[in-house]
């Protein structure tokens, strides 16, 4: 049977065949293999008996495999995101955090036994940018904050890995749309990865608060990033600020069942109607739910359940603005952008607490 590919950025057939035959966990999340003879799909690391290559199709996401008619494997449970990047990715992230000014080129990656092409694919899939773009964004994001804090422009340019002032200015202007000299009054949106028991989350914040919190596998994530750029008229670069650090601690307490209330500042501009809906969501206590019909009445449109559902789906700050607490009139869960299994687990977590 001819091997099928869902996206062009998948590894080569030979590379994927080697990965699943050796149960290489570092490829989990990079691709999924579907077995035509059984009708199931798995992670590359699945410990089940290895299928013949002629019976395998490859997909870049679990959603694509499901839409192609395959059901998830009960052994490796490909729909359950573990929340931890592969070891080689964690290694890279820790290196960048420890020294964001260093140059992590392809030669360096090879020296630590990491294939540059694999790094590129993983970062494109999970961060919507190449590994090199991530590194550049990290350097520029830190330099932006330093300039805003009053640091001397010369010290920032030469201290963050740039060989010349002109190179720093060009890179800065390309990313932020302004010159370094004007950045003291500007802002950017910083984005960071947060691990959780229900899968990795992407958080984003500006100087005023958290403006995004989404599970990394949500279909609308690209659209949400585009909305942030438009709303805040600012680029999104990897990094952290005090709001993201506070949210990380609060989310840890939330999943441990000890958090009573999120206190991290949040920023959620939208239409008047969207803001009404999102503010009503904030009033639903943990462990309780409200129906779309009830929510429609609260915002003054008794017959506007569909409009309420649409606004609910456009919520950019999952968990903190608890759109998971809205259910159908009959008590069924209804929809949830992060997946119904997560909605169920979030409600169970809050009710248990």
Q: Are 213 and 259 in contact (CB under 8 A)?
A: no
Radius of gyration (Cα) for the chain, nearest Å?
A: 22
Q: What is the distance, to the nearest Å, from the Cα of residue 158 to the centroid of all Cα atoms in its chain? A: 31
- Phi and psi dihedrals of 267, rounded to 5? -130, 120
Which run of H or of E encompasses 203?
Answer: strand 201-206
Measured distance CA(19)–CA(14) in Å, rounded: 9
Query: Which residue's structure tokens are 């060989």?
Result: 163
Q: How wide is the angle at C-alpha 228 spanned by C-alphas 226 and 233, nearest 5°? A: 100
Q: Which of 195, 225, 196 is nearest to 211 (CA)?
A: 225
Which of the residues 46, 135, 188, 323 is marked catalytic?
A: 323
Residue 323 known to be catalytic: yes
Q: Which of 313, 344, 203 is nearest to 262 (CA)?
A: 203
Query: Which residue's structure tokens are 């830190």?
Result: 142
Cβ count near 264 (within 10 Å)? 21
Active site residues: 323
């Amino acid at each position: 049977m001819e091997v099928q590919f869902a996206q062009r950025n998948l590894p080569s057939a030979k590379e994927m065949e080697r990965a699943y035959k050796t149960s290489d966990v570092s490829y989990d999340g990079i691709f999924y293999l579907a077995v035509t003879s059984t009708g199931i799909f798995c992670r590359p690391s699945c410990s089940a008996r290895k299928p013949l290559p002629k019976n395998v199709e490859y997909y870049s996401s679990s959603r694509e495999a499901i839409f192609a008619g395959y059901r998830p494997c009960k052994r490796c449970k490909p729909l359950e995101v573990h929340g931890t990047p592969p070891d080689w990715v964690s290694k890279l992230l820790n290196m960048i955090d420890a020294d964001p000014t260093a140059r992590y080129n392809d030669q360096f990656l090879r020296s630590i036994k990491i294939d540059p092409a694999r790094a590129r694919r993983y970062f494109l899939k999970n961060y919507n940018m190449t590994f090199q773009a991530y590194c550049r964004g990290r350097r520029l994001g830190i330099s932006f904050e330093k300039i805003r804090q009053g640091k001397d422009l010369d010290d920032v340019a030469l201290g963050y890995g740039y060989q010349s002032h002109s190179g720093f200015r060009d890179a800065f202007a390309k990313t932020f749309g302004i010159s370094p000299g004007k950045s003291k009054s500007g802002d950017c949106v910083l984005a960071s990865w947060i691990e959780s028991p229900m899968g990795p989350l992407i958080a984003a914040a500006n100087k005023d608060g958290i403006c995004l919190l989404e599970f990394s596998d949500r279909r609308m994530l690209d659209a949400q990033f585009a909305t942030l750029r438009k709303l805040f008229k600012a680029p999104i670069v990897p990094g952290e600020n005090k709001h993201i650090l506070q949210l990380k601690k609060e989310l840890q307490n939330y999943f441990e069942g000890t958090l009573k209330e999120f206190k991290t500042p949040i920023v959620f501009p939208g239409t008047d109607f969207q803001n009404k809906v999102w503010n009503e969501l904030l009033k639903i206590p943990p462990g309780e739910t409200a129906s779309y019909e009830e929510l429609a009445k609260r915002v003054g449109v008794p017959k506007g359940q569909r409009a309420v559902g649409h606004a609910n789906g456009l919520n950019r700050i999952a968990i903190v603005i608890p759109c998971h607490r809205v259910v159908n009139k009959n008590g069924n869960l209804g929809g949830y952008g992060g997946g119904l299994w997560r909605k169920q687990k979030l409600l169970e977590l809050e009710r248990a607490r």
